[in-house]
Amino acid sequence: MATNIKGPAIFLAQFAGDAAPFNSWDAITQWAASLGYKGVQVPTWDSRLFNLQQAAASKTYCDDFAGAARENGVEVTELSTHLQGQLVAVNPAYDQAFDAFAPAQVQGKPAARQAWATEQMKLAAAASKHLGLHSSVSFTGSLAWPFLYPWPQRPAGLVESAFTELARRWRPILDVYDEAGVDVGFEIHPGEDVFDGVTFEMFLDALQGHSRCRINYDPSHFVLQHLDYLAFIDIYHERICAFHVKDAELNTDGRQGVYSGFQPWVNRAGRFRSLGDGQVDFRGIFSKLAAYGYDSWAVLEWECCLKHPEQGAAEGAPFITDHIIRVTEKAFDDFAGGATDQATINRMLGL
């Protein structure tokens, strides 16, 4: 039976900063609530807001953390480990670029960085359990991504080996999440080895269908790939455990297609936009999620190449609220029906 989606909520990663009200947990949760948000998704790498090590070790810390949010009018929706998840698997081509996601002591040391990221993921499982959460959101990382386009020709077995290794690294992490009773919703995202439905299936197969391998649904990344994001829900709804509400547009022309010509965001054919400014059919998305019984949070992830983040945040709460469907408990044509029993049905069928 369909249920109501929770929200609106907001992912705090793009808003946390060194200036008030974005530099402390108390202030940023008050700010979110003042805009009409009911939930906040927490970037676990941002020490201005959250101490992951302490949260994993202390339920008291987590009780106080969640309690402070509730006092300010919001709930914790999920913990995000996007940056740590990215570092579970890094192709050497990206070693230097992704070092910025890691602490100084493991930068330039790929094996140590991977071990640190793996431990971070496990800490987030314990912290999620302490917070009473059942879902989290992350990235898979990437080993095969530099070989996305098959030129030069990929050697036979390269992709299969990449997904085998990706699953080998993630399986023990997912086992820890299983013990904690927490799902990992992987954001299906270009730059990750899991960037569309086919690659998600490849990953899931390599994991032998691990029950905690789930999806953080974000339609913006599908728009940029010209992928049918509504049909995606039909196919994978049973694996969707989280939802990033993010808009995007793809305006191809005679000069640019989906690859967007190495242009900066504002000049790209495919661009992220604030809610309502892009091309995503959110009416269709919220309808499908409601029909399939999705009952977790709708979380704004603000990313826009034009609009100021505070304007995007202010507009996001009413936008999401307007799209959440209060699911009906009765059929619209119930008024026209009458009481029935099996004998009546048999007579109507001539049985």
What angle in degrees, to the nearest 10, is found between the helix axes of 197-206 and 158-180? Answer: 70
Side-chain-side CA neighbours of 99 within 13 Å: the count stands at 13
**DSSP structure class, residue 90:** B
CA 122 to CA 130: how far, in whole Å? 13
Q: Encode pLDDT of 167-215 as tens digits.
A: 999 999 999 999 999 999 999 999 999 999 999 999 999 999 999 999 9
CATH number at residue 99: 3.20.20.150
Q: Are 275 and 316 in contact (CB under 8 A)?
A: yes
* Count of the separate structural domains present in the chain: 1
Query: β-strand 39-43 against 75-81: which pairing, if any?
Result: parallel
Domain limits at 182?
6-348
pTM of the model: 0.96
1 in any annotated domain: no
Dump pLDDT digits (tens) for 292-327.
999 999 999 999 999 999 999 999 999 999 999 988
Six token digits for residue 209: 């269908």
Q: Please write down the long-range contacts of 118-123, taking CB distance under 8 Å and 24 or more positions apart.
A: 118/88, 118/169, 118/172, 118/173, 120/44, 120/45, 120/52, 120/81, 120/84, 121/81, 121/84, 121/85, 121/88, 121/173, 121/176, 122/56, 122/173, 122/176, 123/52, 123/53, 123/55, 123/56
301 occurs within a structural domain: yes
Residue 332 per-residue DSSP state: T
Please count the residues of the chain. 351
Side-chain half-sphere CA neighbours of 37 within 13 A: 31
Q: In Å, how far are 32, 195, 265, 292, 302 from 219, measured between CA atoms?
A: 23, 12, 18, 17, 13
Is 131 a member of any domain? yes
What is the bridge-based pairing of β-strands 240-245 and 297-300? Answer: parallel
- One digit per residue, the tens of pLDDT, for the chain of length 351 reads 456 999 999 999 999 999 999 999 999 999 999 999 999 999 999 999 999 999 999 999 999 999 999 999 999 999 999 999 999 999 999 999 999 999 999 999 999 999 999 999 999 999 999 999 999 999 999 999 999 999 999 999 999 999 999 999 999 999 999 999 999 999 999 999 999 999 999 999 999 999 999 999 999 999 999 999 999 999 999 999 999 999 999 999 999 999 999 999 999 999 999 999 999 999 999 999 999 999 999 999 999 999 999 999 999 999 999 999 988 777 666 666 777 889 989 999 999
Three-state DSSP class for 116? helix
CA–CA distance, 318 with 282 (Å, rounded to integer): 13
Q: Would you put residue 327 in left (φ > 0), alpha (ψ -120 to 50) or beta?
A: beta
